[in-house]
């Protein structure tokens, strides 16, 4: 049994429910405990305004939120009696709290939008968590066929190699193929084939294919996501802005990937 928890950013939205279902399935494969995490984002006494996050609540709504959370917890435990599922709340900023909870965790799992004020974009919480988390972060969206492959975007950087390791583990656990995809830039040599060969030795029963395409990495990976069940990328690559905690390709894919996406940091290798 894996004792490191899977933390779900849970805000009672339908997207958070999708994230919880993804986490429960992952916990079923790994034996990891699942923590549903809700942040009461203060100040809750402020009147509603366009700049106030959608997750913020008034004091007179706190009891209703707690009741809804406990109901969700009870339903989750009833539906998954073999899993260890807990609920944790905090009176703090959701992004900061989730980064803190990521320390020592196996995964942080988020919904694609949640209570974002801009419905078609990943909220600021998701961007902050994927940039600063101490463990891989999965942003859940789409429900593709169960036999769809896991896709790993690589460029030879340490972060992408960490991402490939995570992707291989996920594909092997799910019993689906792993597709290693690289769209080389002037700063990166074609390495997809060599990297794939190394992981074939570790997972001899896993079907692994490697492709090098002449296309912008963001466009190539976004297109690959339309036929995948999980897209895995490093937090930053070999581009001119490598010093950023979250690279431009990763940021683009967080907003435009058609399937769930995992962001893995170099230090997680």
User: How confident is the model over 241-261, as pLDDT tens digits?
Assistant: 333 345 678 888 988 899 999
Q: Residue-wise over 240-267: b if at least 16 C-beta within 10 A, else e?
A: eeeeeebbebbbbbbebbbbbbbbbbee
**Residue 261, in any domain of the structure:** yes
12 and 98 belong to one structural domain: yes
User: How confident is the model over 109-143, as pLDDT tens digits?
Assistant: 999 865 443 333 346 788 889 989 999 999 999 77
Of 140, 169, 198, the residue that ends a domain is 140
Q: Determine the structural domain holding residue 75 and report its residue range.
A: 6-140
114 and 133 belong to one structural domain: yes
**Residue 145, in any domain of the structure:** no
Say if residue 172 is exposed, middle or buried (CB neighbours under 10 Å; 0-12, 13-18, 19+): middle
Q: How many helices (H) and strands (E) does the chain have?
A: 8, 10
171 and 234 belong to one structural domain: yes
Of 99, 115, 140, the residue that ends a domain is 140
Quote the number of domains for the chain.
Answer: 2
Of 140, 171, 201, the residue that ends a domain is 140
User: How confident is the model over 135-172, as pLDDT tens digits?
Assistant: 999 999 977 678 999 999 998 888 889 999 999 999 99
Strand 107-111 with 6-9, pairing: parallel
Of the chain, the end-to-end C-alpha distance in Å amounts to: 21
Helix (H, G, I), strand (E, B) or coil at 228: coil
**Residue 123, in any domain of the structure:** yes
Provide the token pair at 165: 């390791």
Helix (H, G, I), strand (E, B) or coil at 121: coil
Give the residue-averaged pLDDT of 180-200. Answer: 83
Identify the CATH number of the domain in which residue 76 sits.
3.40.50.620
């Amino acid at each position: 049994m894996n004792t490191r928890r899977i933390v779900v950013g849970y805000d009672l939205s339908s997207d958070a429910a999708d994230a919880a279902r993804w986490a429960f399935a992952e916990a079923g494969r790994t034996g990891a405990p699942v923590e549903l995490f809700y942040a009461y984002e203060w100040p809750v006494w402020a009147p509603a305004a366009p700049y106030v996050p959608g997750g913020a609540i008034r004091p007179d709504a706190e009891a209703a939120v707690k009741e809804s959370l406990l109901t969700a917890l009870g339903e989750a435990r009833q539906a998954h009696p073999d899993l260890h599922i807990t609920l944790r709340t905090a009176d703090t900023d959701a992004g900061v709290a989730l980064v803190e909870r990521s320390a020592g965790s196996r995964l942080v799992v988020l919904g694609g939008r949640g209570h974002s004020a801009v419905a078609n974009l990943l909220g600021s919480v998701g961007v902050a968590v994927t940039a600063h988390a101490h463990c891989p972060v999965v942003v859940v969206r789409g429900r593709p066929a169960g036999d769809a492959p896991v896709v790993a975007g690589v460029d030879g950087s340490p972060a992408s190699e960490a991402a490939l390791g995570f992707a291989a583990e996920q594909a092997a656990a799910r019993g689906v193929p792993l597709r290693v995809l690289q769209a080389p830039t002037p700063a990166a040599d074609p390495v997809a084939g060599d990297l794939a060969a190394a992981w074939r030795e570790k997972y001899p029963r896993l079907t692994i294919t490697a492709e090098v395409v002449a296309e912008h990495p963001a466009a190539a990976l976004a297109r690959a996501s339309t036929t995948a069940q999980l897209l895995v990328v490093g937090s930053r690559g070999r581009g001119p802005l490598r010093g950023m905690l979250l690279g431009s390709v990763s940021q683009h894919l967080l907003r435009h990937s058609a399937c769930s996406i995992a962001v893995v940091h170099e230090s997680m290798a």
